[in-house]
Amino acid sequence: MAPHSSIFTLKLLLLLFLFRFSVSEIIFEETFQDGWQHRWVKSDWKSTDGKAGSFKHTTGKWSGDPDDKGIQTTGDAKHFAISAKIPEFKNKNRTLVLQYSIRFEQDIECGGGYIKLLSGFVNQKKFGGDTPYSLMFGPDICGTQTKKLHVILSYQGQNYPIKKELECETDKLTHFYTFILRPDASYSILIDNRERDSGSMYTDWDILPPRKIRDLKAKKPADWDDREYIDDPNATKPEGYDKIPKEIPDPNAKEPDHWDEEEDGIWKAPKIPNPKYRGPWKPKKIKNPNYKGKWKVPYIDNPEFEDDPDLYVLKPIKYVGIEVWQVKAGSVFDNVLICDDPEYAKQVVHEVFANRELEKEAFEEAEKVRKAREEKEAQRAREEGEKRRRERDHDRYGGRYRDKYGRHRHDYMGDHVSIILYMTYFFTNNS
């Protein structure tokens, strides 16, 4: 083989090697099209006591794409558990991206819409609320007050929730939730491709002790001047300032005509506030040239902190699962993605949201139908109530009424009238 051929071959192999470790990788992507039942296993958890709900393969009530189906929770006040085995994913020295979409078509009242990444061996038929997980991410809604966005990470067998108060979306349209975890332990949380929060595992989870702590022994230096403004040392009090009275006689007041000095004494005009009085004299304030700012307790290195360079590393991910409880079912899960490329995840959201306006229009039309149906039912109820009221009035004023037991009795007023007419006839004919 010629020398230049060998060099070319080596260059080609090097390029292929570099390409292998530079391109992004899609670990798992599920859009719930044909064959999804073979990838997902419905758990038997809660089935024996009748508390297990089921998933329906459907586009839902107002999808922007009639061919885009997801899996929807069905059965109110139930537990839902389903999982899929994925190619093992290790995030050491790699970015982890977990993304999925959910649409709350129901008035959920109280329930979850989150997703989990699982490590180790999982008996998928028994997957449930007690199954250990490495990451739990997604919405949890209860009433009008709780609309939490969970981000819970597992570290050395213990679960740690994020310390921040994050909120999820609560309307009935499709929303994408994206969690990105990087090798420097930084993270980002996106909703519909917009970053809602970001930070570091070192500060936003109570996994490791903090790197820095306040020095509780520190004291403010005696010469520390934290007065931002001081009295002007060159200011002088105007001459006669202290002699200005607070009140003066009302110059417009007049002695009443009926005033009698012998009986009432010498008349004096009532007092009014003196417009020239400015209160106790105070020198004007000026910037303090010695101002050092507000003193703060300094931070020092925490002697209990011990760094873990693999803090961000999760146990190898082998399964993805949905495990939630809902008072009212009807949530559509779709577009599950696990990869190491945030840009690809953004592209997926962009492509699905190409039909965003169609979904909104379908939702608005469904809302019109729902409101018309509710108004029709309300009108029917009003008419039925009015009918029952007329029947009661007829029974009461038509000569008969019902007692508290529902039995008809004669109207006492009718009896009284009959007695009066009889007595009138009797006395007239016997007078």
Evaluate whether residue 425 is within a structural domain. yes
Indicate if 336 and 399 belong to the same structural domain.
Answer: no
Of 354, 386, 418, which residue constitutes the final position of a domain?
354
Indicate if 341 and 379 belong to the same structural domain.
Answer: no
Q: Based on C-alpha coordinates, what's the Rg of the chain?
A: 40
Evaluate whether residue 49 is within a structural domain. yes
Angle at 193 between CA 102 and CA 189, to 5 degrees: 80
Name the residue among 228, 217, 368 with its Cα closest to residue 285: 228
Q: Where are the beta strands (DSSP E) in 77-134?
A: 78-89, 96-104, 110-112, 115-119
- Taking every pair of Cα atoms in the chain, the longest distance, rounded to a whole number of angstroms, is 153
Tokens at 303, concatenated: 């002697």
CATH number of the domain residue 101 falls in: 2.60.120.200
pLDDT surpassing 50 at residue 22:
no
User: What's the number of domains the chain is made of?
Assistant: 2
Evaluate whether residue 94 is within a structural domain. yes
pLDDT at 21: 44
Which residues are known binding-site members? Answer: 114, 116, 133, 140, 323
What is the spatial distance between Cα 4 and Cα 9, in angstroms, rounded to a whole number? 9
Beta bridge partners of 115: 137
Tell me phi and psi for residue 151, to 5 degrees: -140, 100
pLDDT at 46: 96
Helix then strand count (H, E) for the chain reads 7, 24
Residue 406 — pLDDT band, cuts 50, 70, 90? low
Name the residue among 129, 195, 135 with its Cα closest to residue 166: 195
Indicate if 384 and 316 belong to the same structural domain.
Answer: no
Evaluate whether residue 413 is within a structural domain. yes
Indicate if 105 and 28 belong to the same structural domain.
Answer: yes
Range of the domain at 202: 24-207+310-354
> Can you spell out the DSSP letters for 226-294?
--SEEE-TT--PPTTGGGS-SEEE-TT----TT--HHHH-S--PPEEE-TT---S--PPEEE-TT----
**Which class for 304: exposed (0-12), middle (13-18), buried (19 or more C-beta within 10 A)?**
exposed
Evaluate whether residue 104 is within a structural domain. yes
Evaluate whether residue 349 is within a structural domain. yes
| 185 CB-side CA count, 13 A | 17
Mean pLDDT, residues 138-156 taken together: 94
pLDDT at 17: 46
Evaluate whether residue 270 is within a structural domain. no
Of 354, 386, 410, which residue constitutes the final position of a domain?
354
Indicate if 338 and 417 belong to the same structural domain.
Answer: no
Which residues are known binding-site members for an alpha-D-glucoside? Answer: 114, 116, 133, 140, 323
Helix, strand, coil abundance in the chain, percent, nearest 5: 25, 30, 45
Indicate if 425 and 325 belong to the same structural domain.
Answer: no
Indicate if 382 and 322 belong to the same structural domain.
Answer: no
Of 354, 388, 408, which residue constitutes the final position of a domain?
354
Query: pTM for this structure?
Result: 0.73
Which residues, other chains included, contact 417 with Cβ-Cβ below 8 Å and sequence gap of 6+?
A: none
Name the residue among 44, 41, 45 with its Cα closest to residue 129: 45
Indicate if 116 and 31 belong to the same structural domain.
Answer: yes
Name the residue among 165, 189, 166 with its Cα closest to residue 177: 189
Give the type of residue at 234. Answer: N
Residue 123 · residue 357 · CB < 8 Å = no
Evaluate whether residue 378 is within a structural domain. yes
What is the spatial distance between Cα 213 and Cα 220, in angstroms, rounded to a whole number? 17
Indicate if 409 and 334 belong to the same structural domain.
Answer: no
pLDDT at 341: 98
Indicate if 318 and 424 belong to the same structural domain.
Answer: no
Q: Tell me: the pLDDT tens digits for 251-272?
A: 999 989 898 888 889 999 999 9
Indicate if 382 and 337 belong to the same structural domain.
Answer: no
